[in-house]
Amino acid sequence: MKIFKKIMMPAAVVVVSAVFAPEIFAQRITAEEVESKSKDEFIDGLLGRMTVDEKIGQLNLPSYGNVKPDAKKSDIAGRITRGEVGGIFNIFGVDDIRALQEVAVEESRLGIPIIIGADICQGYKTTFPVPLALSCSWKPENIEEVARISAREVSTDGVCWTYSPMVDISRDARWGRVKEGAGEDPYLGSLMAAAWVRGYQSDDLSADTTIMACVKHFALYGASESGRDYNPVDMSRVTAMNYYMQPYKAAVDAGVGSVMTSFNEFESVPATGNSWLLRDILREEWGFEGFVVSDYTAIKEMVSHGVGNQDEVSLQAFKAGVDMDMIADFYDGSLKRLLDEGKISEKELDAACRRMLVAKYDLGLFHNPYRYCNPERGEKELRSAANLAASRRIAAESYVLLKNDGDLLPLDGVKKVAVVGPLADSRANMCGSWAKDAVTGEYNGLVENLRKALGAGVEVVYARGCNLVDDEKYEYNFTSREINKRGDGKELLAEALKVVNGADVIIAAMGEAEAMSGEGASRAILEMPDCQKTLMDALDATGIPVAMVLFTGRPLALERQAAQADAVLNVWMGGSEAGAAIADVLTGKVNPSAKLTMSFPRVTGQCPIYYNHKNTGRPMAPEAWYTRYVSNYIDVPNEPLYPFGYGLSYTEYEYGQVNLSSDEMTADGTIEASVVVTNAGQRDGEEIVQLYLRDMVRSVTPPVMELKDYKRIALKAGESRTVTFNIDVNDLKFFNSVLDYVAEPGEFTVMIGGNSLDVESAKFVLK
């Protein structure tokens, strides 16, 4: 490892300190100390010469405030000099970051570097689809590549720690943050969680091209009541362990360096002060050894939860296991007083401080505190041709074809294409709400890319057609970079109807602005805005075939609009190369293969809706629509509009019967389940073959099905292949009523198919 050799204190200052205050700077970290000692020896020695105030300072993660025009003269620089800061939250700009790091290393008493964290959730300068979209590829390797590119880019600009991945299981599309996760399934979510961690951290966290991951939000944040952000979570521990906790554990098992607490309460205790979550499960059961950071002001918000004053909630969070206080400054104001009162011990303070120092050591900051400030490498990495090509490919692999009547797509043999809709040429709304440093001015929109893809022989015309929303109060409730570019609704519609005249096909670009989903963007009504519905009604009335391109950060309730459209392509929010990737799919350069990882409701009232639900004591009979006194609605079917695992292709796949190698399995044995899959269409393609299991009888009520494995296969037109899955006892285990992880003897149903509602099945017995 390269050792940072720079003398860490100007000679003149050293002389002055030696004369007037020898204790102040004599114990500063030296390069020789870092190089000659083991990690434990180095950190033990550093802890031994830190004051209580300096130890508490390492647990403080404030915002940077105003660092212009001179970061070294800013308020935060003064706090760093006094040893009051362990890291800085969401600061960007390599020059300012380096300046503040110089203050930490060269002007604070011990010269301890600061850790720089930021929300890098779907790329940096090169942006990628929102994580929910990425999960729909069912390709963990894509997510690992996104994280790897994100780390390589942002690590040139001073950032060494990301508040990602978000792995909260999300069953309710009303919750705006569903876009940040991998949907409703714990098995698939676990694969994606581990992939994010591998991509960010690689196998060498000290490399200057890797960054530390922070899995969030621990725990259960995605189950907020009514889908309203920050709301309480009310569920049993059995439900939590069986359906929500696995992705967090997968991240821990993958070696994630840090964990972020969540805003919600669980069992009437705020998660940020919940000892069962943070100590019993995270530390003791899972063996997590990294550091825990609160979410933004989450410790302070415990006061609003009603569990205590500043000192009381700081004590509760600290005792529960929160090492670092993000933004609130509650630790800075309370921990020393709590120590003086004997409510916490210096041993406990040392343990928390040690975890912060270990993280900095593992990141290589003690060896070279400026290792992540590398604008020269940034010139090669940021928005490189290779990174943009990856963004385009990965985006196209995330798009889900939901409908394609009459094989309207891919576009072929057309002479005039009309692109209509408020999102048809919107660059700013393509990337998503966490693409904070996206260079949207360099994006290419859908219209431009479609013209290029179709060539000079096809006329591509464009009209906006309507505003994104037509309710000014609703519009005022959120902010978007293009939301206020309003026009007269009647004039926009008239223009669109004029433009589509004579078109062979209409591409209707509809859906959400980037700020309509994400944090603080819960929605009680998941339908399209009324003005977009009006536009779809008008386009449908023309009789011209309509392909709806759906931009969204969440599943929407669009049963009427989906019925009006001949084709529906869900493109989510696709990042830097969304326009090019959409054109690739619309024109057939890419055959879509993505599958939904979150169910689309027919109406908002079905939410939360998810595939792995319980059966109830009065289940709906198969193929029935409505029966009195069973578990159903009187006005809509139980089933979603589009189920988990669903997604079409430009070809068709047929499944044969499920064959089992045996109808019995022992606890130490395995069973093979196989099925023949045939590409019955005219195009080559890829299919995601999904394996589900159902435990027919067990000591706690089972779900109707659970995803246990899947395989992505490439089939040429007309080709058939036998796909085989191995099932062992680990696939049959669950948490029982006392939270033991067990498999119980009995009958199981094996289901294999192309989505959760279209499967072939067979049965076996576990002896």
Residue pair 294/249 in contact (Cβ under 8 Å)? The answer is no
Distances (CA, A) of 248 to 123, 171, 282, 495, 646: 21, 16, 9, 50, 25
User: Which are the contacts of 231, defined by CB distance < 8 A and separation ≥ 6?
Assistant: 224, 225, 264
Q: What is the DSSP letter of 277?
A: I
User: Which residue's entry shows tokens 């090509």?
Assistant: 389
Residue pair 338/314 in contact (Cβ under 8 Å)? The answer is yes
Nearest-CA neighbor of 377 among 208, 147, 213, 212?
Answer: 208
Locate all alpha helices (DSSP H) within 462-573, ordered by sequence: 472-476, 489-499, 530-541, 559-564
Locate all alpha helices (DSSP H) within 127-236, ordered by sequence: 131-135, 140-154, 186-201
CA angle, 596 as apex, 631 and 238 as ends, to 5°?
55
Q: How many CB atoms lie within 10 A of CB 682?
A: 12
229 annotated active-site: no
Is-cis flag, bond preceding 22, omega within 30?
no
Residue type, 59: L
User: Which are the contacts of 617, defined by CB distance < 8 A and separation ≥ 6?
Assistant: none
Residue pair 550/568 in contact (Cβ under 8 Å)? The answer is yes
Q: What is the DSSP letter of 586?
A: H
Alpha carbons 182 and 188: distance in angstroms, whole number:
8
CA angle, 72 as apex, 71 and 74 as ends, to 5°?
65
User: Which are the contacts of 282, defined by CB distance < 8 A and separation ≥ 6?
Assistant: 218, 248, 252, 259, 288, 292, 321
Q: Which two tokens stand for residue 20?
A: 């007037």
CA angle, 210 as apex, 208 and 215 as ends, to 5°?
145
Gap between the terminal Cα atoms of the chain: 54
Bridge partner residues of 324 (DSSP): 293
Q: Is 655 helix (H, G, I), strand (E, B) or coil?
A: strand
User: Which are the contacts of 762, defined by CB distance < 8 A and separation ≥ 6?
Assistant: 657, 658, 659, 660, 673, 749, 750
Q: 96, 208, 295, 325: which is the annotated catalytic residue?
A: 295
Which residues are tagged catalytic?
295
